[in-house]
Structure 1
Amino acid sequence: MDEDLFEPEAGFAGLGLRPELLRALVSLGYEEPTPIQRGAIPPLIAGEDLVGQAATGTGKTAAFALPLLQSLTRGETEGPHALALVPTRELAEQVSQAVHRYGRELGVRVLPVYGGQPIGRQLQALSRGVDVVVGTPGRVLDHINRGTLHLGDVRTVVLDEADEMLDMGFAEDIEAILAETPTERQTVLFSATMPPRIDAIARRHLREPVRVTMGREEPTPGELPLVRQSAYIVARAYKAAALGRILDVEAPTAAIVFCRTREEVDQVTETLNGRGYRAEALHGGMSQDQRDRVMGRLRGGSTELLVATDVAARGLDVEQLTHVINFNVPAAPEAYVHRIGRVGRAGREGVAISLAEPREQRMLKAIERLTGRRIPLEKLPTVTDLRARRLELTRASLQEALDADDLDRFRVVIDSLTDEHDVEQVALAAVKLLHEAAGGDIDEPEIPSPLPPRREQPENRGPRPDRRSRNGEDDVTRLFVGIGRRSGLRPQDLVGAIAGESGLPARDIGAIQITDRFSLVEIPEAAADRVIKALSRATIRGKRPTVRRERYNR
């Protein structure tokens, strides 16, 4: 009996964790460490620096939180014992809660610091003393500059989701924060992807780090993969209709639909609500209070679909999420990895679906190369498929009613009708009424299959006048963007911001000129107002630049 009682902690006990942590893990229902935990915890306890490549949902929070709690001694230092930097408010809250749960018996004092929260509360907690600070780079640096956070006693620094932090323009903040910590600290870096810039940070700030690379656990033979991936090739004009049909067939419990721009988020949300779904928008134009209310409704079940931009959805963790849908294929394969990492967690199967325009098929191939997994191309549901699906839902509703035991009170209706009609006809009429009350048959045109991408004709292979021309063409304008080389701006940053925020295809962006203080970029005149409006609300390399037409543009 005693052996059975303590069997769950045997796996973690083998990693050398202190008894207080083992008891906390048992009380939380943890039985066996995940692969990333087995690989990371022993070297971290031994004091090694570590670079870990791990997808969301692999248990990486415990992989770094348990070792930093292992060496925690209350009252030994004045400042924090450990600092964890994360990209978003939501992730700061999640990591902070996890550290608190694991270190409950140790009396750990953990403080999340992020923007959007009253700073007075954070100042009071810091003045009383904390053991672990979990924060976003901007707010942590703010406290350092105020003199309210001192990192001279920090023994461990964790950079969690480092690729996300760099994508959000936090590189300079991270460098400034690390400069305030002791050089002999232990440094831990976790990232879902390992582009060259992450390796560059590791070379600068980590000392002979142990490297641990883990993906999701592979399913055993015969089992379904944790994330079922698929894609549909759809012309842009029919994407909204295609999304509605896919949702009708998939019937997700809760889903996130990713869009590129705020305007697209609002348009898709309106379309889905018009189709009868309970959809909510989430994007950077909303206040933190609005975002919190939206997330509360999703977690509470009153909302079933969240339509969001990548930036707004960073760090979100929704337990009941079953589907991730890419309304557009992300331009960066790494972004796809982050998106689908939100489903298929804790042994539950998830679904990742992408709607791709014909020209985006090459992006799907790039994702397949990165993930090492094929993304099957599926055929869109037809009107016949949708009608069959709705009839199946009607049948399921009837079956549920038949399984109930409260039907007798309706017998008088059946008895009166069967005096004049056949029982089967009465049943068919009842089914018809139920079916129509649930929405009835789909009555909409078929979505045509898109034509394969056509090759450019030979006469069009020269420079296109709508992209590179500087000959005073009326259809081209040049924008002034008030950020340049001194802020670390690269052409790809500008292209990504324009395409991501305004929806203008990257192929329509012309020549880019970057100087020390500003940049000039050619775009179609017809899109100028839309691009200016979108970029004026966007953050590029951590700054919100001035954007306008070039004053001397002809």
Structure 2
Amino acid sequence: MISFDDIKISKQIRMALDEAGFDKPTEIQEKVFSPIRAGKDVIGIAQTGTGKTLAYLMPILMKLNYAQGFDPRALIVVPTRELVLQVIETIELLSPHINLRAAGVYGGVNINTQKEKLYSGIDIIVATPGRLMDIYMTRILKFTMIKTLVIDEADKLMDLGFMPQLKAIFEIIPEAHQNLLFSATFSDTVAQLADDFLISPERIEIAPQASTVENIHQIQYQVPNILSKIALLKHLLKDKEVFNKVMIFTETKKNADRIVNRLEEFLGEDLSVIHSNKAQNTRIKALTNFKEGTSRVLIASDVAARGIDIENISHVINFDIPSNHVEYVHRVGRTGRAEKDGTAISFVNKGEEELIEKVEALINKPIEIGLVPTEVVFTSQLLEDEKIQTRNIKVKNTIRLDLASGAFHKKSAKNSKTPSGSKGRQKAIANKKRNSKKKSKK
């Protein structure tokens, strides 16, 4: 079995890995190390949870070696604030025996505080695209010394519409530099980014695109509506021994807040929540509490699906199935990390059945359907936005949903009337013909 010594890690980083409890590299870490060290442009495709951050940081830190000069020599661009913090934390983990300076910059906090941190000199900047360009415009730093650019979670950056900012970043750094592009999937937009800016890249793909790791047990429960989902969630979370570290993903901030409102009294200090409407300090505190075990349950909207590397998450629960079904892979990848077992549970209502089918096609295997515990009582009551969605479905698909039985019914023939617009148009044509006949008789 290959070890870190086999890929010729420096003594200083090897010591840090030993202290952190890492005993062998993952496949992505092993395979990208030599090409990056050789200065090649690299595309690394690997599923969430396989150690991509460590994979690119180890050779970069060895290349930088020690603090030097005033301006940054390596730039790492990521899609979210959470991932900035995660990468900085990993740099700190790897560099207790290396004299290197790193800082993270991201929106939502005072830019002057970040400028002060950069003013005394920096070797590595980890940044979200928007705040990086804000920093650049202040002229506090020059970007002429950057030799390595990392685009991490490239698929998410593309999904969030950051292509214009990424193009601007390529314009402000030296033409001669090394590009490293890492992603869980290789979509058409990521491929276009690679074609535009990478030079003869070496592509290293570790697992089939958008696959989930084998040690994650995946199960789905068929649940009719939001209030029933909350009832099932509450029942599952009663078992503190089994559900000892749980991450719950929602499609919307509204649903995240609904869970908090209905379970806050039940869970107490066991509960934390992060989404984009929360202040940055609140989000950092929530993540810290969850990491350290102060809270047992973390509720997150999809903004947090990437970049959270927390050990020993026992369960991921998909309260909603993501409308972008590829996000399912990133969500469930929060558990089953570092070859440990994990469980991913999905709550699926009638409107989400097509999405879960797309997920199954994506991961190329069926997701087991679980039996809802008999103690859980479902309700037919809908919240207001669910009623609106149901009305929209009825108009669009000419079907009616019987919420009590969960069955669909086709629209009866006697109710299938010709649209008024069509009838009015036919009447106008008939009148026009009659008027034409009258004129011809005259």
TM-score bracket, normalised by the shorter chain, equals 0.7 to 0.9
Aligned ranges 1:277-426 → 2 under 5 Å: 278-312=270-304, 314-383=306-375
How far residue 227 of structure 1 moved from its aligned partner, in angstroms, is 1.3
Aligned partners of 1:109 and 1:131 also within 8 Å: yes
Aligned partners of 2:220 and 2:370 also within 8 Å: yes
Which residue is 1:28 aligned to? 20
Which residue is 1:234 aligned to? 223
Which residue is 2:258 aligned to? 267
Asked whether 1:198 is paired with 2:152, we answer no
How far residue 349 of structure 1 moved from its aligned partner, in angstroms, is 1.8
How far residue 58 of structure 1 moved from its aligned partner, in angstroms, is 0.8
Could you say what secondary structure the match of 2:39 adopts?
A: coil
Could you say what secondary structure the match of 2:372 adopts?
A: coil
The range that moved more, 105-114 or 275-284, is 275-284
Could you say what secondary structure the match of 1:104 adopts?
A: coil
Aligned partners of 2:41 and 2:200 also within 8 Å: yes
Letter of the 1:253 partner, please give it.
Answer: N
For residues 1-35 of structure 1, the C-alpha deviation after alignment (integer angstroms, 9 at most, x for no partner) is xxxxxxx9x72232233333333333333222110
Distance in 2 between the 1:464 and 1:246 partners?
A: 49
Could you say what secondary structure the match of 1:95 adopts?
A: helix
Letter of the 1:234 partner, please give it.
Answer: V
Aligned partners of 2:275 and 2:303 also within 8 Å: yes
Distance in 2 between the 1:463 and 1:173 partners?
A: 51
Aligned partners of 1:40 and 1:63 also within 8 Å: yes
The range that moved more, 197-206 or 61-70, is 61-70
Q: 1:184 aligns with which of 160, 176, 190?
A: 176
How far residue 376 of structure 1 moved from its aligned partner, in angstroms, is 0.6
Which residue is 2:9 aligned to? 17
Which residue is 2:391 aligned to? none
The range that moved more, 302-311 or 246-255, is 246-255
Distance in 1 between the 2:125 and 2:417 partners?
A: 54
Which residue is 1:255 aligned to? 246
CA RMSD of aligned residues (A): 3.2
Aligned partners of 1:78 and 1:153 also within 8 Å: no
Asked whether 1:61 is paired with 2:61, we answer no
Distance in 2 between the 1:157 and 1:28 partners?
A: 26
How far residue 128 of structure 1 moved from its aligned partner, in angstroms, is 2.1
Q: 1:64 to 1:450 in 2, by over 3 A?
A: farther
Gaps of 5+ in 2: 381-402, 424-442
Aligned partners of 2:251 and 2:321 also within 8 Å: no
Could you say what secondary structure the match of 1:105 adopts?
A: coil
Aligned partners of 1:253 and 1:320 also within 8 Å: no
Letter of the 1:262 partner, please give it.
Answer: K
Could you say what secondary structure the match of 2:112 adopts?
A: helix
Distance in 2 between the 1:54 and 1:17 partners?
A: 21
Which residue is 2:408 aligned to? 454
Q: 1:148 aligns with which of 137, 140, 146?
A: 140
Could you say what secondary structure the match of 1:48 adopts?
A: coil
Letter of the 1:246 partner, please give it.
Answer: L
Which residue is 1:92 aligned to? 84
Letter of the 1:259 partner, please give it.
Answer: T
How far residue 73 of structure 1 moved from its aligned partner, in angstroms, is 5.0
Q: 1:461 to 1:142 in 2, by over 3 A?
A: farther
Could you say what secondary structure the match of 2:218 adopts?
A: strand
How far residue 36 of structure 1 moved from its aligned partner, in angstroms, is 0.3
Asked whether 1:243 is paired with 2:230, we answer no
Q: 1:110 to 1:76 in 2, by over 3 A?
A: closer
Aligned partners of 1:51 and 1:209 also within 8 Å: yes
Distance in 2 between the 1:309 and 1:447 partners?
A: 25
How far residue 464 of structure 1 moved from its aligned partner, in angstroms, is 11
Could you say what secondary structure the match of 1:346 adopts?
A: helix
Q: 1:363 to 1:462 in 2, by over 3 A?
A: farther
Considering Cα pairs closer than 8 Å and 6+ residues apart, tell me whether 1 or 2 has the greater RCO.
2
Distance in 2 between the 1:321 and 1:75 partners?
A: 36
How far residue 105 of structure 1 moved from its aligned partner, in angstroms, is 2.9
Distance in 2 between the 1:80 and 1:268 partners?
A: 43
Distance in 2 between the 1:12 and 1:300 partners?
A: 28
For residues 460-494 of structure 1, the C-alpha deviation after alignment (integer angstroms, 9 at most, x for no partner) is 999998xx9999xxxxxxxxxxxxxxxxxxxxxxx
Q: 1:50 to 1:470 in 2, by over 3 A?
A: farther
Aligned partners of 2:82 and 2:307 also within 8 Å: yes
Aligned partners of 1:100 and 1:109 also within 8 Å: no
Identity over aligned pairs, percent: 32
Letter of the 2:345 partner, please give it.
Answer: I
How far residue 53 of structure 1 moved from its aligned partner, in angstroms, is 1.3
Aligned partners of 2:150 and 2:179 also within 8 Å: yes
How far residue 75 of structure 1 moved from its aligned partner, in angstroms, is 6.2
How far residue 291 of structure 1 moved from its aligned partner, in angstroms, is 2.0
Q: 1:369 to 1:462 in 2, by over 3 A?
A: farther
Distance in 1 between the 2:84 and 2:413 partners?
A: 55
Aligned partners of 2:45 and 2:182 also within 8 Å: yes
Letter of the 1:232 partner, please give it.
Answer: Y
Distance in 1 between the 2:328 and 2:312 partners?
A: 20
Aligned partners of 1:92 and 1:134 also within 8 Å: yes
The range that moved more, 32-41 or 246-255, is 246-255
Distance in 1 between the 2:134 and 2:332 partners?
A: 33
Aligned partners of 1:53 and 1:213 also within 8 Å: yes
Could you say what secondary structure the match of 1:295 adopts?
A: helix
The range that moved more, 241-250 or 148-157, is 241-250
Which residue is 2:432 aligned to? none
Asked whether 1:137 is paired with 2:129, we answer yes
